[in-house]
Structure formats: structure tokens, C-alpha cells
Amino acid sequence: MSEDKKLTDMTLEELWQLFPIVLVPHNPQWHDWAVSEIALLQKLLSGYSPVVSHIGSTAVPSICAKPIVDILVEIPLDADWTKLRNTLEENGYICMSCSSDRMSFNKGYTPRGYDSRVFHIHVHALGDDNEIYFRDYLNAHADVAKEYESLKLSLLQRYKNDRDAYTAAKAGFVGRISELARHMCDELRIDEVVFDKERFLPLLLVGDECEAMIDRYLGRGRLFVGFIDSCAVSVCAVTEENADTVEVKNLAVHPQYRRRGIGRRMLGHVEKLYSGKTIILGTGETPSTLRFYQSCGYRYSHRIVGFFTDNYPEPIIEEGVQLKDMLYLSKRL
């Protein structure tokens, strides 16, 4: 095939031959590539307040994947989608499909084949995020992740040069697991606890290691507790700082119940209660925590230098990072 032929001039069969499906072991660099691309997309689309997340198999370290990083961009349904499409196309993204509430773009496809970094960008309306539930379920259930990997490997030879058929053959599995993940999250019951809040101290300490710090806000704040089958699995403590501002002081999920969308549900519950106000929250510079809050629409506000080193008796180490400064994030509801 001539390298002078443009991708837009190629038939679907030619494209599939040029870009066959390949499955390779997990590459830790995929995460770094996703972080870099997400930062670029957030800058390009800052006017849309996008929620940008790394999705797909490259976000599941335990399984093999196509060496293509999938990124989900959620924007308001009433945004100017045509303008967004133009912005992405002007910056090197190729629009592959477009509808009233979904668009998809590719980056890293050349007439010579795959570039060194390849991305699929999925633009959806806010809340159209089954991919996140699917990703988190696979990361929390190694056996299901391996089942998905086995399915993909079994389909590879048959559909190596037919991506549409390959995707369709996986759709039943993906849909079933996504629905299961959402259903598990739907089982969560969130109640406000007014009396005897201290009985939830073990969960509160998951989110804030210092009991003395918890004592400062627990009495004057509101405490919401998430239950599954009468078992407390999550907490969210908030304080009303003024007529317009609410602060999330503590958000924690029991380790056995993480990666099920529970933290997102707890935040969503608080956001509904305080619609029209600004929510602020402080956190350390733990990479996964920052990504979580950013995916929920929170953006950098300010920094309190030395907060953790000045107020906590022992060093706090998370994901190999010693927490020093408190980063405040905010979201206007």
C-alpha cells in the first residue's frame, strides 16, 4: 500500500489490514502516556469543564491489551459539540464517528501504520460512563479480568483484521459486567448519622489517620455512612463553612469495597444535597487520589504548604509519596 495514500482515502478493509488487532502484555508506560494525554485534553477543552479518565484494558494492569490507550472525555450534553470537534481536529485528532451525544477520535494512526503512541478518545455526555464501572470491576476482580483476557485472546485470530466484529463479539461480556458493577453500586444505602458518630471511627481513620484531626470536625459536621447489607463500608464527613461553601473533610471506603464506584456515589450524594453551592476538599499529592477527584470534576484551588508535616505526628506515606502540602480542590455545583 502506498504511503502517499491518505487514511481518509482508504477503504475499511485497507485500514483493518494496516492496523490489525494486536494484544501485548501490560506496559507500565501506558499509564504515563494516559496522564500526559489527559493533561493535554484538559487544557484543550478547559472551557467545557471535562471529566477525563483513562479507561479500557490499558487501565487494567493484570491483563494484556491492544497497545492503544483509551480515554473517556465527559462533557455537558448542552455543550457546543461541533466546536469541541473542531478543536480536537485542529490539534491532530481524527474524528471517526459523531452523533448528538457521542464522538470518537483517533490519534497516532499514520499511512505507515501505528505511531509510537496511539490513543482512542471517546467523548460522551456526562454520566455516560459505563466504561469506568467496567474498568474498576476488572481491577477489583482478578478472576473476571482474566476471563475477559481469555475471551479477547480467543477472538484474536478470527477477527485480527476486523475490529468491528472483534468489538461486537466482546459486547455481551462487557455489557454484563458493566451492569453487574452498576448494580453492586446501586445496592449501597447512604444514611446520615447524627448520634454516636464515633462508632464509625475505624472507617474515618481510613481517610484521615489522625484521630485528633477527626475530632476537630466530626462533632460540628455532618456524617454520611454507606451501608451494604447493614455493613458500613464508606463514610463522608462534611462541614458547612459558610452560606455558599461546603468542605468534604473525610471520604473513605473500606479497602474490601474499593473500585466499585462507592466513593463516587458518596460524593454524588453530598453534591445533590448541596446543589448550587461550592464544594471544596483537601488532599495530599497521592496520584490515584488526585486522579479520582479530577475524574469527579474537581479542580485545583490552592495549596497549604506543610499542612501534613506540621499537623500530623508521624510522616504519612501513600503510593511511595510522603504527604507534605495540602492541595485544595473545588467544584461549583
Q: What is the pLDDT of residue 3?
A: 58
Taking residues 82-107, what's their average pLDDT?
94
The chain-wide mean pLDDT, for the chain, equals: 90
Confidence label for 320 from pLDDT (cuts 50, 70 and 90): confident
Is residue 102 scored above 60 in pLDDT? Answer: yes
Question: Is residue 22 pLDDT above 90, yes or no?
Answer: yes
pLDDT digits (tens, 9 = 90+) for 303-312: 999 999 998 8
Q: What is the pLDDT of residues 195-251, one digit of tens each?
A: 899 999 999 999 988 899 999 999 999 999 999 878 899 999 999 999 999 999 999
**pLDDT band of 188, cuts 50, 70, 90:** confident
Task: State the Cα–Cα distance between residues 259 and 49, nearest whole angstrom.
Answer: 24
Comparing 98-107, 148-157, 172-181, 184-193, the range with the smallest average pLDDT is 184-193
Q: What percent of the chain shows pLDDT beyond 90?
A: 57
pLDDT in tens, 60-81: 989 999 999 999 998 888 999 9
Residue 175 scores a pLDDT above 80: yes
Q: What is the mean pLDDT of residues 100-108?
A: 94
Contact 200, 190 (CB under 8 A): no
Whether residue 13 is predicted with pLDDT greater than 90 in this model: the reply is: no
Distance CA(125)–CA(90), nearest Å, equals: 21
Which of residues 2 and 46 earns the better pLDDT score? Answer: 46
Question: What pLDDT is stored for residue 251 in this prediction?
Answer: 96
Q: Considering only 8-12, 69-73, 130-134, 303-307, which range has the smallest mean pLDDT?
A: 8-12
Bridge-based pairing of strands 317-318 and 299-304 is: unpaired
Q: Would you state the pLDDT for residue 291?
A: 81
Q: What SS3 string covers the chain?
A: CCCCCCHHHCCHHHHHHHCCCCCECCCCHHHHHHHHHHHHHHHHCHHHCCEEEEECHHHCCCCCECCCEEEEEEECCCCCHHHHHHHHHHCCCEEEEECCCEEEEEEEEECCEEEEEEEEEEEEECCCCHHHHHHHHHHHCHHHHHHHHHHHHHHHHHHCCCHHHHHHHHHHHHHHHHHHHHHHHHCCEEEEECCCHHHHHHHHHHHCCCHHHHHHHHCCCEEEEEEECCEEEEEEEEEECCCCEEEEEEEEECHHHCCCCHHHHHHHHHHHHCCCCEEEEEECCCHHHHHHHHHCCCEEEEEECCHHHHHCCCCCEECCEECCCEEEEEEEC
Q: Is the pLDDT of residue 52 over 90?
A: no
- In words, the CATH class of domain 189-332 is alpha beta
Average pLDDT over residues 120-138: 89
Q: What pLDDT is recorded for position 91?
A: 96
Give me the residue spans of the domains in the chain: 7-186, 189-332
Least confident of 31-35, 135-139, 146-150, 244-248: 135-139
Cell 485470530 identifies what position?
157
CATH topology of domain 7-186: Beta Polymerase; domain 2 (3.30.460)
pLDDT digits (tens, 9 = 90+) for 245-272: 999 999 999 988 887 788 988 998 899 8
Label residue 8 by pLDDT band (50, 70, 90).
confident
